[in-house]
Copies of this chain bind each other. A is one copy, B any other.
Amino acid sequence: MDKVLNYIGKNQKRYLKELTEYLSIPSISTLKTHKTDVARCAGFVSDHLKKIGMKKVKIFKTKGHPIVYGEWMGAPGKPTVLIYGHYDVQPVDPLNLWNSDPFKAVVKDGKIWARGANDNKGQNFIHMKSVEAYMAVEGRLPVNVKFIIEGEEEIGSENLEIFLKHNQKLLKCDAVLISDTSLFAEDQPTISYGLRGLCYMEIEVTGPNKDLHSGSFGGSVANPINELAKIISKLQDNNGKIKIPNFYKDVIPFTKKERENFKTLKFSDGKFAKELGVKELQGEKGYSTVERISARPTLDCNGIVGGFTGEGAKTVLPSKASAKVSMRLVPYQDPVKIAREFKKYVMSIAPKSVKVEVKELHGGLPFYTSFENDYVVAAANALSKAFGRKAVYSREGGSIPIVVEFANQLKAPVILMGLGLDSDNIHSPNEHFHLSNFERGVLSSVYFLKEAEEL
C-alpha cells in the first residue's frame, strides 16, 4: 500500500500533464460543431484505459456520442466495482468572462482552471490514476474494476440509459462508484447517499375566450391570474407543508441516526441567508435548513406568466395565465403518482368559472442508498483516511437521473464520492478544480479499492 501511495506522490506532475491533455479536447456534447471533438475525447479515454492496464477496452457507438468501456477482472471471488464518469463538457459561453482559455488548462492558486476540470474530467481521471498506480506497483487490483465513461451526461444521458438496459451482464457489479458531486464544505470529505427526484408540472388557467377591457368587464368574470394565484396559494400551508393529498404518503421518515447525522453537518443559517441576500430563511416547519434543502420534499413555482408584462399600465383582463410548478421528491415518492395527485388536487380547488389544464412536463425518481451500506461505509472510511478527517454523510437536493438508472437497473448500491466544491464554477466561466481535492481524490480511490477487497 505504501508503495502505491509513494507512486502517486511521485507521479503527480505527470498526472496533471495528462489531465491537461484530457481537458484540452473541447468535447462539448450539446454543440454539433464539436461532434468530432467529442469522438476524439472518447478515443483519448479509450487509449488511457488501455495504458493503465484495462482489458476489453471498447468504444461503443450510440445514436449520439460514444460510450467508453474497459475492465480488469483479474480478482476472481472479489467484488466488482463499476466506476462511472463522463468525458463530455458544458459549453463555454460567455467566453469573455473566462480569465484563461477554457481548453488550455492553467494551474494557479492551487487550482486547475479549465472547462471540465471538475465536471467531470478531473473527477473521473482520479479513478484512472488510482487504478494506474495499483497496476504499476502491484501488477493487479484488489478488486475487479469496470469503467464506463460516457459522452452525453450534459445532454441527458439518453443513450447510456438504453445502453444500461441492453448490457446488464457486461455491467454487472457489486457497487457503482461515481465522483460527480461536491464536498459538503471545503476540506470536509463527504459521501452523498441520497438525491431528490422531480415532478415538474404546468398549470394553465383560462378565463374569458379573449383578452377583455378590465373597465368594461372587470367584476363580472373570474380573472385567470387571480384564480391561478389562489390555486398556487393553496398548494402549501403556513407551515410550508404541501397540501396535496397523499403527497407525503411514501416519504420514508428520517431515522434517529439519520437526524443525528444531519446535526453533525456544519451549516450556518446566518451565513447562508446572508449569501442569498435574504433577511430570513423560510421552509418546512420542524426541519433544519440542511434537511430542507437535501432530504425533504419541496414545492416551488419555477415560472409564471399572464396578461400584460411590459412597462407601465395596460388595463387588460387576460384570457389566460400559466405557471410552472415543480416538486423535489425524496425516497420513495413516485413522480408519476405525485403528478396524478397534483393534477387531481388542482382540479378540485379550481372554481368552475375558469378552465384549468394541468400537464406533467418532466419527472425523475429520487435516489437513496442507506449510509449503513457496507460499500458506502467503505467509501467513507477511504475518504476519512485520505483527508485525515472523518467523512460526513449528506444528501443532495438536486437530481442526477443517471444515478437512479444505475441503482435501479444494476441493482447495486451507488456511492457518490464527490470531490468538487459548489464554488468550482461548474457550468459557468472559470471552472476549476482544487489540486488538493484531485490529490486526495486519487488517494481516496486507492483506499476504497483496498477497503472493498474485504467485502
Contact = CB atoms under 8 A, between A and B. Distances in A.
A281 B221 CA distance: 5
A307 B324 contact: yes
A121 to B, nearest CB: 22
Given A196-B215, A229-B229, A220 B307 contact: no
Given A232-B226, A233-B233, A279 B324 contact: no
Nearest to A269: B220
Interface string A205-236: 00111001111111111110110111011111
Given A208-B278, A215-B397, A279-B355, 6 more contacts: A215-B398, A219-B397, A220-B282, A223-B301, A305-B306, A312-B361
A300 B326 contact: no
Given A277-B208, A323-B225, A216 B314 contact: no
B353 A280 contact: yes
Given A219-B284, A282-B221, A303 B293 contact: no
Given A302-B317, A314-B302, A318-B303, A328 B278 contact: no
A315 interface: yes
A283 interface: yes
Given A218-B397, A219-B296, A296-B219, A212 B276 contact: yes
B278 A354 contact: yes
A236 B225 CA distance: 13
A198 interface: yes
B200 A276 contact: no
A399 B215 CA distance: 7
A284 to B, nearest CB: 7
Given A353-B279, A361-B312, A226 B307 contact: no
Interface in A378-405: 396-399
A298 interface: yes
